[in-house]
Structure 1
Amino acid sequence: MPLFLFAVSQAESVSISKAIISFLLIHFLIYPASNGYNSYIDRDEDSIGGIEKPPMPTEKLFYITVALDGLAIILAAFFISFLFAFCLALYIAASRAYSSRQIRLKKYAIPGFLIVAIFQGAFTYYMSAVGITGNALKLDKQALFVLLGCSFQIAGAYPLTQIYQHKQDLRDGVVTLSYRLGYRGTFIFTAIMFALCNTFYYLYFEGKNSGTVFFIIQMFFLPIVAYFCYWFYLVSKNVTNANFKNTMRMNWIAAICMNSCFFVLIIINHFL
């Protein structure tokens, strides 16, 4: 959702109807289907995502995910554009390649990391921009800066979501980037990724002569940085603090701050 709102805030012109439809298709069909398929394949017994004790999935879940994906592509082609439908299809294919037992990119630290950083970062922003406007995003220098910023943002968040699942992932034959980095290494890597994210956001807004907006973003990011540093301190003292509860707290703080930030940018750019 943050990157979708970011794309809305930066669009030169927004089709209200297309923005609403694309939001609904992405967040109520594509994302639930992706999460559902991953749950069906992994059959997690320990805490996963936002669920501490997930129920066992049935075969019905698989067919529901296929139906949701198919419906999203059809509606996207009919109401938005064939380009948007194609973007959704690519996102679905990447999601399946990440989770499926036949390809299973998630079990490889680097390929799994790259596909998430690209498709949940830059590609999600691009896909959202296409859905919002119905047209392709012009890939000039400024667009490349913002796309890189989005991917580095996800690249920073992704290892943190894995930090409490090392044992569970290893039981399933999945060697995550977080496991390879270790607990302290995961936090250091995340800090580097967020620094790069901020660098490209700065270049993007400076190139648009909107440097003030960049500093507004930093105000919303302060609570994220503060909790991140506090959590790093706790984990440095005792690795058991790299647990589900603290991971979810980090996720909620980041989601609230980033969604609020980009919602404010929508107001600034389109209503003031």
Structure 2
Amino acid sequence: MFKRSNWLHLRIHFSYFLLPIYLFALSISPNLSEAGLLGLFVILHLFIYPASNAYNSFYDKDEKSIGGLKNPPPVDKGLYWLAQLFDLIGLLIAFIYFPKNYTLLAMLLAYILASRAYSNPAIRLKKYPITSWLIAGFFQGAWVVWLVYIGLNDFPFANILKPHVLIPGLLASAILWGSYPMTQIYQHEEDAKRGDITLSIKLGIKGTFMFTGVFFGLASLGYVLYFNEYFNLNYGLVFLAAMSPVIIFFGKWFFKTLKDESNADYTNTMRLNWISATCLGGFFLYLFLHSTNILSVVGVY
């Protein structure tokens, strides 16, 4: 269970790509504590996300590149048990750090079950292009925003229906729904071999780029309108500026791929993921620090 190949399949560094969702959730939370911030970060990024990666790897048994792992080693039963262990540790930390917050525990368990349904052969959501797209984007986006909000504030679940909480969650999913097919663009052969007809396969390489471009544009408009309504329009303008490196790289990659589809590969996909996560994460960190006046409290301003 603890051999090096299994640890590689946890792909802990891949959690970086989901860090912006966590940072966005912080900016809408009225009650913040160091213990809560650290606890939820550790639970999600060091245990729940890696467990999901390992569980997915165990059932996919990929021979070619996967997210965060260019040359995945063969898997064995030990990887399955390592995923179980990491999920269990994540839940135990939540129980200790957030005593009596049973809503948080239930939401974490729901996330775990959804991620398992994605790849477990008994359900295998991954083979249904639209269903897997909707569920993956929803749980990694909106659900995590609401989960972090509930965890930090210990509010009832019904609070997520309030517009100032509901809308940020849906916007987080909108970004993921736009980018999700791009994460599949280099895996067409591997996915088709297993019978997983992903949304990217349905769209084709050119269609995947076009879909992501349109969806990202609509999502960006949604963010600008949200910031104008609940914060300040200046945040929307900063958001667009922060996303400019993503747009530039995406455009250049698209035109290169139109000339040669072999450019729709693992390396370029990971570059896009890294640029997107860095730009989004940087913006949401700025939003969190600036909108909550933390910088003023510590004397930066």
Aligned pairs for 1:6-155 within 5 A: 6-80=24-98, 81-136=101-156, 137-155=159-177
Rate the CA distance shift 1:79–1:124 in 2: closer, same or farther, 3 A: same
Output the CA distance in 2 between the equivalents of 1:43 and 1:183: 24
Instruction: Please list every run of at least 4 consecutive aligned residues from structure 1 whose deviation after the TM superposition is greater than 3 angstroms.
Output: none
Q: Distance in 2 between matches of 1:209 and 1:152?
A: 19
Contact 2:191 2:198 in 1 (8 A): yes
8 Å Cα contact 1:148-1:197 kept in structure 2? no
Q: In the alignment, is residue 213 of structure 1 matched against residue 221 of structure 2?
A: no
Count of residues paired in the alignment: 272
Amino acid aligned to 1:144: L
Structure 1 residue 138: Cα displacement? 4.0
1:146 deviation in Å? 1.5
Which runs of no fewer than 5 residues in structure 1 stay unpaired?
A: none
Q: Root-mean-square deviation (CA), in Å?
A: 1.3
Q: Deviations over 1:9-64 (max 9, x none)?
A: 22222122111101101111100100000001111110001111101112111111
135-144 or 180-189, larger mean C-alpha shift: 135-144
% identical equivalent positions? 37
Shift of 1:212: 1.0
- 1 CA distance for matches of 2:150 and 2:270? 31
Asked whether the 8 Å contact 1:98–1:105 carries over to 2, the reply is: yes
Match of 1:175 among 182, 187, 197: 197
Q: Which of 260, 267, 270 is matched with 1:248 structurally? A: 270
The corresponding residue for 1:185 is 207
In 1, Cα distance between equivalents of 2:152 and 2:162: 18
Q: Distance in 1 between matches of 2:239 and 2:181?
A: 23
Partner of 1:205, secondary structure, is helix
> Distance between the aligned counterparts of 1:203 and 1:85, measured in 2?
33
What is the TM-score of this pair, normalised by structure 1?
0.96
Counterpart secondary structure, 1:229:
helix
C-alpha displacement at 1:204, in angstroms? Answer: 1.8
Work out whether residues 76 and 82 of structure 1, in 8 Å CA contact, stay in contact via their aligned partners in 2: no
Aligned-pair CA distance for 1:203: 2.6
Report if the CA contact (8 A) 1:145-1:203 is conserved. Answer: no
**1:165 and 2:183 correspond:** no
Contact kept, 8 Å, 2:160 with 2:166, in 1: the verdict is no
Describe the shift of the 1:77–1:89 C-alpha distance in structure 2 as closer, same or farther (beyond 3 A): same
What CA distance in whole angstroms lies between the structure 1 residues aligned with 2:136 and 2:231? 31
The match for 1:235 among 244, 251, 257 is 257
Q: Which amino acid counterpart does residue 72 of structure 1 have in structure 2?
A: G
- Give the letter for the 1:186 counterpart: T
